[in-house]
Structure 1
Amino acid sequence: MDLVPLTRFWRSRSSTAVTGENINPLYDPHQHQQHDLEPDLRDLNASLAALVEVFPDIAPEVFREMLSSISKESRIEVVTEQLLKKDAKLLRGRYRIGRGDRQSTSSPTSEQVGNAPTLATEETFRGESYRNAVKQVFYEEFKTLSHSSIKAVTAEQNYSYTLSRPVLQQLAAKSWRFSLANFWSKRSQSQTAPEHPNIVCQVSRASGETAALGVKRTGSTQLDRELWQLFVEPALASQRREQLIADHTYASKLNEAEAEDAGALFDCECCFGSVSFERMVTCDEGCHQLCFDCVRRTVNEALYGQGWARTVYPERSTVRCFAPTSQECHGAIPTDRVCYALSDADGSHDIWQQLQGRVASEALIKTVQLIFLSFLAAAFVFTVPLLLFTSVIWMMANILPPVAAIFHASWVRVHRSRQGLRFKCLNPSCTKTSCARCATIWRNPHICFETEKTSLRTAIESSATAAIKRTCPRCLLSFVKSSGCNKLVCNCGYTMCYICRNEITSKEGYSHFCQHFRARGGRCSECERCDLYGDEDEEAAIRRAAESAEKAWRDQGGKGDANTQLMVEALVGQAGHGTRYEKWLDAMVDAIAL
């Protein structure tokens, strides 16, 4: 296969590769740089970045809706005033969870968002050329969907191609027209280029083989770069990896042939095969020579078979010498040579990483076993004297009443130090009452970790709202259906279906929905129209969004802070204020009462 970069291929064949009236020029990331945004769009993005920096917990879509309807002179001031006065109405369920909730394919650019590192490109205002190009590309890619559905989905996702494409794929997969079109298109699908109308495959006229992938120009440089990053870059990276592996294999065969012609082959002391010097390893004690193939087979047997104990040298994280000609060799193969031998076949280090991971696991297990045995020995050494001391104290407390009174007073002090979570500072300058578990100010009624619970509830509500949110493609107003049927009418007069997001004209009306009677409910078996009152998909979407939000919250550390736990242990284990003798006695009673 003749693999060449797209830039070199396009420059050399620009006069012959692209001909015809209906073929657009290909996008070249080195030549077609992104143009500057319009002045008004640049000002909108600068205002959006400033508001996101001031209010980092609010979703950027709130600012986009408000900025688009305010004049240029006082955008930031008016939006800030409205947020401070009407935050409860404007921000219901629209708080920002964080950058981890939406994976951006393009890094934030300081030129577009005013040096705001927390604002992604998908969250900024989009130019008219980019929005029109995205809709045209979707019209060609999803021909089974109506234009109104595509407009509704793109409006919900801020006209982002990367975020809108998965939603449109789900909608298209539910249509029977998609299955029929997919059946006929399978015969003409290319095996080298992705299934996309704007991705073309360049073919060399000399050899007839695939040379490179390209992106047809869409009219927006920003969308061209996005398509290049989504489809072409992964394919080129895969081709480069395959080419490197093929070159390495060919170079190894050529080296073996030259070494054989020159008589410079060496015999392996394990399999007695003849290989070149570059494919040999030598142990550091007996200088036994072993080939790469034997090293790989031995390591695979150690990892997946029964040869771990006699093969691996755990103290040095390498492999022992396994030459059968000398059973008394205690040497080992150098670590760098083992790594090179295991990665020689395909250029990857998976087997080497598995070997190092298991060596580390074995070392950790041995360390834990040693610590456990040491703990048992220490417990035995300290438990016997403690039992003897407890027996003596019990006998003295039963025989001598004053001794019993002293131990009773110590027990009362220890019991008081252990009971209750309410802790009051005795410092005259403080005198604050706090919780010994969550280290927050004590307010009746007190709920531990109330802030963390509120954070989890906010994350779940925000994700659930985003899952069922709809956006009007005409006025870009976002809304959520609380009750009623699935025929939604916006304030601007636009009518759409809540399920498929398709526009419902006045002529069509309620005929857009299923009219068949179903005695037992469920999905209609006579047609594929949307249900007028069906909400099964909505409940499933809310449930999936809530589960994802809870998992993301727990992965980000929402279970509690380690410093809080340490503070709780310090407060609970604090000894009483008394003499040194009383402190020592309280410590002994506290240890006995465990």
Structure 2
Amino acid sequence: MFLSSLLGTSSRRRRSSKIARSKSPSQMPEPSSSSPSPSRSPSHSSSHSQVGQTASRSEYIVDESQLEPVTQPPADVVDLNNDLVNLSAIFPDIQVEVFREMLSNFSDESKLFVITDMLLKNPATYVKGRRRITDQIQEQEPSVSKAEAFRTPAYKTAVRALALREFKGLSRSSIDAVLSESNHSYLDARPTLVDLSSKSWKFAISSIIFRRKPVTSSETEAHPLVAWRVDGGALAPAVKATGNGELDRELFEELILPLKSREKDTRQKSDRAFALSLQTAEAEACEATYECACCYSDSVFEEITSCNAEGHMVCFRCVQQSITEAVFGQGWQRSIHKDTGTLRCPAVSSTDCQGCISAEQIQRAMHETENGAEILEKLDQRLAEHGLLSSGLPLVRCPFCSYAEVDDLYMPDDVRPLRLRLSMVPNVVLFLVAVLLSPAALLLAILSLVWLALSLNGSFRQFVSEQFTAAVGRYQRRRRGLKFVCQNSACGRASCMSCSKAWVDVHVCHESALIALRNQVEQAMSMAIKRVCPRCNTCFVKMEGCNKLTCPCGYKMCYVCRKDIGTSNEGYQHFCQHFRPEGDGRDCMECDKCNLWETENTDAILRKAKADAERRWRETESRELSNAEKAYLENGVGNIGGVGRENGEGLLSYVLPGGKIPTVEEICDFIVETFIV
């Protein structure tokens, strides 16, 4: 009792002394007529709480109207981006990364002309295999995307601060190095940062204590910058503001807009299903439903149609299933009327009904289902394909879309007969005389007898006639030109009518595919093992030696964790100091520092990158690599059947053109081009 009263008295004395100190004359406001009355203090405090609430809400961006306008970049950044655009237009086959690296290293006012001169004289020194794929050059204009352009200093600062807040287990230099590799793009650098952070000792400790798992970049809803806030009485995704308008807009477009679009689609589907259920319940209560003649289910008036002959009532679900089965299944011949593009009546009760569901009703039914527009587009393509095939005209097709047109070599009213090239007659006569006077006359007689015997076979004559006709067509096509430009406004690409590949001047059939494959493999292998200096943006790869690297600009970094070890004079102290033989890359059992001789198993990384690139190429080309193409990937020179000349098996390349026995097509092409006009 005594202790409680004593403690209570002392606590009251402490509180009174604190109040007295807080209301000392030096801190008390002077009385004035403008001072607020005690009765207004609650509203004053509530206004403060409202301001605090608004500030807390402004930390997250829910709607696009909350985004700050993007400020105009500085003049030097604008000039650099203009130089990037000009260099991309001059050298469309070189990646923008090369231009960005060279513009960052040169400080001359006329750097554009200097870089152009260097790339024209000695491109291999600066390009180092970083070239664009041929198909990419054809698909898009030579331009610089937003992710490839130079970033403003404010944007770089905001991205760096954002990465430092999220990945506290990584050093600043490691984060700077990864950001430099991705041109200071937070979304592109985050997968690498997540991978490095999961290997750090801080994450290892926290994962053991708190059972944490690294959040991958593909998990948008679980992204640390994404939160769900109440907006208009409903939960809406929001992104945390970074203070930079450009970065906020980029994060909002990449993280929030896909979530909002998906949420909108889900809400529309649920609202439509709910409205349809209410409408169906009301119609059933009034006995105003209609029975489908195909599935015998009841449907409301808005969800049913009828054929134009006997008036069979068919619900939209049966129409949707019939169209889907006809386009993607086995019901094309049975269900679709090709001449009118309508659906035959699917009623079960009358199999002899000649009625059809009109195209307008088909569109109404298909627009009510998911992916209905895509199914209608496939239906139109198949109907157009049927119309082209039924016409019997020779067609030229675009390999990149469904566009086709009549071959301009089709001239039924003006068929020019084939004529022998008169200038070749003396040469042919001299050749035959020389052969008859030579010991090869017996061989020529034997070949003539064999040809005569084979000519008696009708199938052989037909085969030779088809090959010869095809050779004449190929010859006429080459005379006219192999370039075909698609007239479809959505495509507009140029292709080769011989190999169906994208047209590139000067075009060689099938060569573009091999060049694209080689460039794609080289690019994937270089991107898998490259590092970028965060100071001068120079790309480099360690071929041998230790993991302490020094850039020509003086920047020193660790090749394993990308940490700056030159600013703090850390040097070799950054690496494990325990005794180990030189070149030993095994992990240390006594500390967790980086190993001076640790290697990334470059061969395995390169093999994986090469295999992934070849797999993507096979999926695009829909075929496997031949032995010559595999040899082309290895040494840039295709072998014959995978056999090299250094072993003495390449004798065919010296005896026959192309180093192989000519095929029937090649023989026919040679005869047509040499003797026929």
Cα distance, 1:97–1:17 mapped onto 2, change above 3 Å = farther
Cα distance, 1:295–1:552 mapped onto 2, change above 3 Å = closer
Other structure's SS at 2:549 match: strand
Residue equivalent to 1:202 = 229
Structure 1 residue identity aligned to 2:572? G
Q: Is the 8 A contact 2:558 2:564 kept in 1?
A: yes
1:149 aligns with 2:174: yes
How far off its partner does 1:288 sit?
Answer: 1.1
Residue equivalent to 2:647 = none
Structure 1 residue identity aligned to 2:160? K
Identity among equivalent pairs (%): 34
Residue equivalent to 2:547 = 486
Other structure's SS at 1:133 match: helix
Alpha-carbon distance in structure 2 between the residues aligned to 1:510 and 1:279: 76
1:509 aligns with 2:576: no
Q: Is the 8 A contact 1:47 1:76 kept in 2?
A: yes
1:471 aligns with 2:498: no
Question: Which of residues 44, 51, 55 is equivalent to 2:80?
Answer: 44
Other structure's SS at 2:557 match: strand
Cα distance, 1:550–1:184 mapped onto 2, change above 3 Å = closer
1:289 aligns with 2:295: no
Cα distance, 1:194–1:327 mapped onto 2, change above 3 Å = closer
Alpha-carbon distance in structure 2 between the residues aligned to 1:295 and 1:516: 77
Other structure's SS at 2:305 match: strand
Alpha-carbon distance in structure 1 between the residues aligned to 2:332 and 2:113: 72
Residue equivalent to 1:331 = 355
Alpha-carbon distance in structure 1 between the residues aligned to 2:558 and 2:347: 74
Other structure's SS at 1:123 match: coil
Alpha-carbon distance in structure 1 between the residues aligned to 2:334 and 2:343: 6
Residue equivalent to 2:299 = 275
Alignment of 1:161-560 (within 5 A): 161-175=186-200, 177-178=202-203, 194-204=221-231, 207=233, 209-210=234-235, 212-260=236-284, 263-295=287-319, 308=331, 312-313=335-336, 315=338, 320-338=344-362, 340-341=364-365, 344-346=368-370, 348=372, 408=445, 456-504=517-565, 506-507=569-570, 509=572, 512-513=575-576, 524=587, 526=589, 530-550=594-614, 555=620
Residue equivalent to 2:54 = 19
Other structure's SS at 1:264 match: coil
Cα distance, 1:508–1:99 mapped onto 2, change above 3 Å = farther
Q: Is the 8 A contact 1:488 1:496 kept in 2?
A: yes
Cα distance, 1:367–1:510 mapped onto 2, change above 3 Å = farther
Structure 2 residue identity aligned to 1:535? T
Residue equivalent to 2:483 = none
Structure 2 residue identity aligned to 1:62? V
Deviation per residue, 1:239-280 (Å, 9 max, x gap):
111121122112222333443455532233345443211111
Structure 2 residue identity aligned to 1:464? M
Alignment of 1:117-136 (within 5 A): 117-136=142-161
Bigger shift: residues 531-540 or 273-282: 531-540
Q: Is the 8 A contact 1:468 1:538 kept in 2?
A: yes
How far off its partner does 1:152 sit?
Answer: 0.5
For these two proteins, the number of residue pairs brought into alignment is 478
Cα distance, 1:483–1:366 mapped onto 2, change above 3 Å = farther
Other structure's SS at 2:237 match: strand
Alpha-carbon distance in structure 1 between the residues aligned to 2:332 and 2:91: 59
How far off its partner does 1:132 sit?
Answer: 0.7
Cα distance, 1:35–1:86 mapped onto 2, change above 3 Å = same
Cα distance, 1:50–1:293 mapped onto 2, change above 3 Å = closer
How far off its partner does 1:98 sit?
Answer: 6.4
How far off its partner does 1:232 sit?
Answer: 0.6
Deviation per residue, 1:77-99 (Å, 9 max, x gap):
33234434554433333444468
How far off its partner does 1:41 sit?
Answer: 1.3
Alpha-carbon distance in structure 1 between the residues aligned to 2:346 and 2:56: 68
Q: Is the 8 A contact 1:299 1:311 kept in 2?
A: no
Cα distance, 1:139–1:194 mapped onto 2, change above 3 Å = farther
Alignment of 1:552-571 (within 5 A): 555=620, 571=669
Q: Is the 8 A contact 1:156 1:471 kept in 2?
A: yes
Q: Is the 8 A contact 2:69 2:245 kept in 1?
A: yes
Other structure's SS at 1:281 match: strand
Alpha-carbon distance in structure 1 between the residues aligned to 2:115 and 2:509: 36
Q: Which ranges of structure 1 fall in alignment gaps of 5 or more residues?
A: 1-14, 109-115, 369-400, 419-436, 439-446, 584-594
How far off its partner does 1:411 sit?
Answer: 5.3
Deviation per residue, 1:275-330 (Å, 9 max, x gap):
2111112123221112234555677888999x959963464666543434334334
Alpha-carbon distance in structure 2 between the residues aligned to 1:92 and 1:304: 47
Structure 2 residue identity aligned to 1:144? G
Structure 2 residue identity aligned to 1:19? T
Other structure's SS at 1:61 match: helix
Q: Is the 8 A contact 1:280 1:291 kept in 2?
A: yes
Q: Is the 8 A contact 1:472 1:478 kept in 2?
A: yes
Alpha-carbon distance in structure 2 between the residues aligned to 1:503 and 1:264: 77
1:67 aligns with 2:128: no
Alpha-carbon distance in structure 1 between the residues aligned to 2:158 and 2:101: 22
How far off its partner does 1:336 sit?
Answer: 4.5
Other structure's SS at 1:34 match: coil
Alpha-carbon distance in structure 2 between the residues aligned to 1:544 and 1:123: 26
Other structure's SS at 1:535 match: coil
Q: Is the 8 A contact 1:313 1:332 kept in 2?
A: no
Q: Is the 8 A contact 2:95 2:132 kept in 1?
A: yes
Structure 1 residue identity aligned to 2:352? E
Alpha-carbon distance in structure 2 between the residues aligned to 1:577 and 1:271: 68
Residue equivalent to 1:35 = 71
Deviation per residue, 1:194-213 (Å, 9 max, x gap):
23343332214x85x40x22
Deviation per residue, 1:186-238 (Å, 9 max, x gap):
8999xx9723343332214x85x40x223333232221121011101100110
Structure 1 residue identity aligned to 2:670? V
Alpha-carbon distance in structure 2 between the residues aligned to 1:451 and 1:296: 43
Alpha-carbon distance in structure 1 between the residues aligned to 2:380 and 2:206: 50
Scaled by the length of structure 1, what TM-score is found? 0.64
How far off its partner does 1:337 sit?
Answer: 3.3
Alpha-carbon distance in structure 1 between the residues aligned to 2:613 and 2:166: 31
Deviation per residue, 1:141-195 (Å, 9 max, x gap):
3333332221101111221223222322333344565476576568999xx9723
Structure possessing the higher radius of gyration over alpha carbons? 2
Residue equivalent to 2:164 = 139
Structure 1 residue identity aligned to 2:168? K
Structure 2 residue identity aligned to 1:545? A
Structure 2 residue identity aligned to 1:476? N
Alpha-carbon distance in structure 2 between the residues aligned to 1:269 and 1:320: 13
Alpha-carbon distance in structure 1 between the residues aligned to 2:530 and 2:607: 14
Q: Which ranges of structure 2 fall in alignment gaps of 5 or more residues?
A: 1-49, 393-435, 452-466, 468-497, 500-507, 630-662
Residue equivalent to 1:572 = 670
How far off its partner does 1:127 sit?
Answer: 0.8
Alpha-carbon distance in structure 2 between the residues aligned to 1:525 and 1:478: 29
Residue equivalent to 2:126 = 90
Bigger shift: residues 133-142 or 69-78: 69-78
